[in-house]
Amino acid sequence: MTSINYRNKTIQILPDVYEPAEDSFLLVDALLEIIRDNDSLLEVGCGSGIVSVFAKDHCKNVLATDINPHAVHCALLNGIDVVMTDLFACIKGTFDIVVFNPPYLPTSTEDQVGGWDDLMLNGGPDGRDTIRRFVADVGNHLDPDGQVLLLISSLTGIKEVCDLFHGEGMSVQTVAESMYFFEKLVVLKARKAPEKQV
């Protein structure tokens, strides 16, 4: 087991669990800008649970999910209530905030490395395989005035991901971004679009 430190918090990391990096930190920073005391939060694909660790300082209720049993164990070590499931399967109810750092890298069959690394990184040929499934279902788990934070890369296709949200009747905007060697990391904030008055 190893650990990392960010914003004066220590996060335990187990083998076969995504180690928080620039994308995780950008998502934490974006969350801390919008979170309100007594919000309820769901972190999908939590990995180590780093986002939930910071959310617990503010939220009345924090729940996380991950399909990786090593990640579930790791999040539990970091004090997070977590369910082993695929995205929203088995999750009932709605939340003020839903957060997801998905596998977003475009990955061909030849690029797949196998094991848990593929689940953490492999976004399919265009980087949006898991994101499509997430966007299609997230509205069912969002309070009427709730918010979604989704971390993606410029390699994933920012416009294309925004179009997925629009296709589900949601508004979306960029709330954080950071440039790196070969990509731009972006946090999108989405919410249900208000119904038009007739």
Joined tokens for residue 145: 């005035």
On the 0-12 / 13-18 / 19+ scale of CB atoms within 10 A, 96 is buried
Q: Which residues contact 44 (CB under 8 A, 6 or more apart)?
A: 64, 65, 87, 88, 98, 99, 100, 102, 134
Average pLDDT over residues 163-172: 96
Structural domains of the chain ordered from first start: 2-192 (3.40.50.150)
pLDDT at 127: 79
Quick: pLDDT tens for 72-131.
999 999 999 999 999 999 899 999 999 999 987 766 566 655 665 555 565 576 878 899
Distances (CA, A) of 38 to 61, 143, 176: 8, 14, 23
How far apart, in whole angstroms, are the C-alpha atoms of residue 47 and residue 24? 10
Average pLDDT over residues 34-54: 96
Q: Running DSSP on this structure, what letter comes out for residue 112?
A: -
Q: Using the structure block, give the residue that is written with the tokens 């989704």.
A: 150
What percent of the chain has pLDDT above 90? 78
Where does the pLDDT of residue 181 fall: very low under 50, low under 70, confident under 90, or very high at 90 and above? confident
CB atoms within 10 A of CB 24: 20
How far apart, in whole angstroms, are the C-alpha atoms of residue 93 and residue 143? 9
Average pLDDT over residues 122-151: 90
pLDDT at 115: 61
Taking the C-alpha atoms of 122, 178, 27 and 1 in order, what is their torsion angle to the nearest 10 degrees?
A: 60
pLDDT at 196: 56
